[in-house]
Amino acid sequence: MTDQAAPALTEAQIEQFITAGILRIDDAFSRPIAEEARALLWRDTECDPDKPETWTKPVIRLGMYSAEPFLQAANTPILHRAFDQLIGDGRWLPCRSMGTFPIRFPSRNDPSDTGWHVDVSFGFEDNPDFMSWRVNLASKGRALLMLFLFSDVSDDDAPTRIRVGSHRDIARQLASVGDEGLTLRDLASDGFATSAHRPEMLATGRAGTVYLCHPFIVHAAQSHRGREPRFLAQPPLLPHGPLAPDCPVARAIRQALT
**Of 24, 57, 28, 9, whose CA–CA distance to 150 is shortest?**
28
Q: Where are the domains of the chain?
A: 11-256
> Closest Cα to residue 246, out of 93, 92, 135, 88?
88
Contact, 23 vs 252, CB < 8 A? no
pTM of the predicted model as reported, rounded to 2 decimal places: 0.96
pLDDT of residue 5: 74
pLDDT at residue 4 in the model: 54
Question: What is d(CA 205, CA 151) in angstroms, rounded to the nearest whole number?
Answer: 8
Helix, strand counts (H, E) of the chain:
7, 12
**In sequence order, what E strands does the chain have?**
22-25, 59-63, 100-104, 134-135, 144-149, 161-163, 182-183, 200-202, 210-213, 219-220, 232-233, 236-237
* 258 residues of the chain, pLDDT tens digit each: 454 578 999 999 999 999 999 999 999 999 999 999 999 999 999 999 999 999 999 999 998 999 999 999 999 999 999 999 999 999 999 999 998 999 999 999 999 999 999 999 999 988 889 999 999 999 999 999 999 999 999 999 999 999 999 999 999 999 999 999 999 999 999 999 999 999 999 999 999 999 999 999 999 999 999 999 999 999 999 999 999 999 999 999 999 999
User: Which pLDDT does position 75 carry in this prediction?
Assistant: 97
Three-state secondary-structure class, residue 108 = coil
Fold type of domain 11-256: Jelly Rolls (2.60.120)
